[in-house]
Structure 1
Amino acid sequence: MSTLAELIKQREALEAQIAQVRQTKLADAIGKVRALVAEYGLTAEDIFGGSKRGPKAAGASKNPFAPKYRDAATGHTWTGRGKAPKWIDGKDRAQFVI
């Protein structure tokens, strides 16, 4: 049976070997990718998608609901959903309708 110290040395040797093999594989992969990019004239947008990722890139607003109320003094708006902001809370909402 191995001692704890021997097992730790074996683990360290394996971790070093894993790191070395991983570095070699990464260098090979990067070389292949660079060759393909050069061969086909690819850009980062071609590979990673650029502006077509997610709703924010597509121009969608943070809030999908149109505002119903506007504070004339500050220009702040509220959709009428959720807790009312302080500028409209307790007041007649008709005067703030957009």
Structure 2
Amino acid sequence: MTRTSYNTEKSRLEKEMAKLQKKIQTLQAKERKPKIAEIVRSMRQYDISPEEIAAAFNRKSTVRTPSATAQRKTGTASKRVIAPKYRHPETQATWTGRGKAPRWITDAEAAGTPRDTFLIAS
């Protein structure tokens, strides 16, 4: 692809993108009008003032921020560190007591040693 055809194609695509964005804006405006009318109808039906809506809107936005929501969804929020509950006396391997038991616990239990013998004294 030559330089001029690249620039020509890029220009054509940018114009097409601008047309599509304008169509999107027109469609959104068309869809918004009935929704706004529905909201106003509900406000009148339940005698809700715009100030009440603004107060509720501001209250909701301070409680749940987008970054906090994104952290919950992606799992990037800090996780609590769980202290180990069990320790192997020879290898010093530890286990929190959550999830599947490690092999050293299951082997010891199969041999007849109770799990309580591995408890860490606090």
- Kindly indicate whether structure 1 or structure 2 has the higher relative contact order, using CA contacts under 8 Å at least 6 residues apart: 1
What's the TM-score once normalised by structure 1's chain length?
A: 0.43
What's the TM-score once normalised by structure 2's chain length?
A: 0.35
Structure with the bigger percentage of helix = 2
Query: Is the radius of gyration larger for structure 1 or structure 2?
Result: 2
